[in-house]
A = this chain, B = another copy of it.
């Protein structure tokens, strides 16, 4: 193997070790004496998920010269738990019964316990982050943005105001802000320079936008088996990228026997989805350009690869 390849293999091993530490941190902090909270947390965490946010944090940390992955693991775990909390609450509001290929917390434990499990995951984030003094404001602001994004989305659906502008604002708040917090916190933990922190922040933000656009495309075109969650919820509720790119209202209170199928049919007939994919690709290209100031070492290559995967993924 060439030197670069050896270094890449070593990096991959470090990242896997780091992600292992993230899993342990998430299980540790959710190991409540209250059985329902512990069990429901283990259920949703054990169901997997892509762990893209903690991976982004760890790679950002390594790319800026960080060397103590154990220290970065807890903030990475906190960010994944923040996302998980929002997923659990989202499944209550959307009546989602399938998540990550398994029944949702809502479906298994009912609404009351799902609400409390989401709250518990929020407080676990807070506990995990408490020792990381200066980093709390980054995650706190992203957490607020996330809830604001979810709320704007629910409002837009309710009030029939799901425009392209509203869509972009929603995904910036509900997804991109947390991605930005992940890359920013990774860079700050590595004691990076201001310019580097700024570059990583932009990278994470654009990646988050692209990720959500792809997520919404998959929600429309994939079947539940490959998606692992109740699909078509978004489109039926009048949101999602296609609706937005059309600047039109796609509220699915259709009287057709299978409104989802007919909406999908319509989307396939024009180039809505293709245009959305293009937009996601452009965002990823722009994100990768933000990394120009980083040394061409394996962690940078891994960040580029992570970004490319975001647009290539099938679930």
Taking Cβ atoms with an 8 Å cutoff, the residues of A that contact B are 32-37, 86, 89, 92-93, 111-113, 115-116, 118-120, 122-127, 129-131, 133-134, 136-137, 139-141, 143-144, 146-148, 150-152, 154-155
Contacts and interface: CB of A to CB of B under 8 A. Distances in A.
Contacts of A124: 144
A52 B154 CA distance: 34
B136 A34 contact: no
Contacts of A140: 123, 126-127, 129-130
A43 B116 CA distance: 23
Q: Which 8 A-B pairs have the closest CB atoms?
A: A133-B133, A130-B137, A130-B136, A126-B140, A123-B143, A123-B144, A127-B140, A93-B112
Given A34-B155, A112-B93, A154-B112, A119 B136 contact: no
B133 A120 contact: no
Contacts of A36: 151, 155
Contacts of A146: 123
A93 B140 CA distance: 26
Contacts of A122: 119, 122-123, 143
A118 B133 CA distance: 25
Given A89-B115, A92-B115, A127-B144, 10 more contacts: A32-B148, A34-B151, A89-B116, A119-B122, A119-B147, A120-B147, A122-B123, A122-B143, A127-B137, A133-B134
Nearest to A137: B130
A147 B112 contact: no
Contacts of A148: 32-34, 37, 120
Contacts of A119: 86, 89, 118, 122, 147, 150
B89 A147 contact: no
Given A112-B93, A136-B136, A150-B116, A127 B155 contact: no
Nearest to A120: B147
Contacts of A136: 126, 129-130, 136
Nearest to A138: B130
Contacts of A125: 126
Nearest to A33: B148
A162 to B, nearest CB: 15
B141 A127 contact: yes
A86 B123 CA distance: 12
7 contacts: A89-B115, A93-B111, A120-B144, A122-B123, A123-B146, A127-B141, A129-B136
A218 B274 CA distance: 62
Contacts of A93: 111-112, 115-116
